[in-house]
Amino acid sequence: MKISIIIPVGDKAAWGVCEESIQASIAAYRGDVAAEVLPCWDLEHRGAYIARNEGLAKATGDWVAWVDCDDVVEADWFSEIAGAINLHPDVDVIQFNATEVKNGKIRPLPYRYRGDVTGEAFARELLLNDGMPAWLWTRVLRRTLFEGLKFEGRVKQDYEMFLKLLPRVRAVWSIGKPLYRYIRHGHGLSNYVQEMDYTVAGNVFREHILRLPEKWQTDAWIGLALTMADVAVHSSGNNGAASWVRRYLWRVLLDFGVPVRLKVKCLLAALKG
């Protein structure tokens, strides 16, 4: 058994700290699961999606782990993942919790995972949200899930990929502890500002949603609006994101499962642009 660890690298200095944490975590493991570390360089900032596709093309492991080059992993990250793979050989995804480091302070990220989850429950959880829980770096996935798939576009790449991956996931195991540290305002590829036309991006997301099982699509449309609201509210120029929020705003407001804070965010986003 082997895990391929793919890291898009857009900053050499940030990668040094990240690499140290990965290598230390691998060295602390005592078991039979092997690791290959695959830094994929993008110092010219062509786009993280290009580096991620290069990493997938090089990967030879049974599983794929994703790390952003400005983040770090905990000392027991690899040991916990390898142990979960051995204990739960029939699942397709191993997920775990993470913390955020901002201005030197560490806090747990709000999305908490524990125990086993069906593929359908996992899909509904990711779809009916604002796109934020669809992080690749809080998960390790079977490499076969990515067969025939590629990353597309410059932003929301995790979200876009999960729209394609979700129908393939049968079962998920969740490790109930934080194993990853997300460094806010770091030097990773996601922090390089790259223009994106969200009118175009929304059409791409829409095409992927139309290929999902019909019973998931209501949640997916609401999730698309919430995802675009996050862009519109936090970006100075939302480049068409607000129009997608307005398109599905009533679905968001009428759905009892959407938290009030996200409904307010959608209302604010709909007024922009």
pLDDT at 171: 95
The DSSP secondary-structure symbol of 6 reads E
Structure tokens at 173: 């195991």
Helix ranges, 102-240 (H): 119-127, 157-165, 198-210, 217-234
Question: Fold for domain 2-191?
Answer: Spore Coat Polysaccharide Biosynthesis Protein SpsA; Chain A (3.90.550)
Quote the pLDDT of residue 219.
94
Q: Please tell me the distance from the alpha carbon of residue 99 to that of residue 106, in angstroms, as a whole number.
A: 6
- Per-residue pLDDT at 147: 96
How high is the pLDDT of residue 128?
87
Q: pLDDT value at position 193? A: 47
pLDDT of 236: 67
Q: Mean pLDDT of successive 10-residue segments in the chain (273 residues)?
A: 93 85 97 95 79 95 95 96 95 94 84 81 88 88 97 84 96 93 65 66 93 95 93 76 93 91 91 76
Sequence spans of domains, the chain: 2-191, 198-270
pLDDT, position 273: 63
The answer to whether 72 touches 89, Cβ cutoff 8 Å, is no
Would you state the pLDDT for residue 119? 92
Distance CA 165, CA 212 (A): 10
Q: What type of residue is 249?
A: L
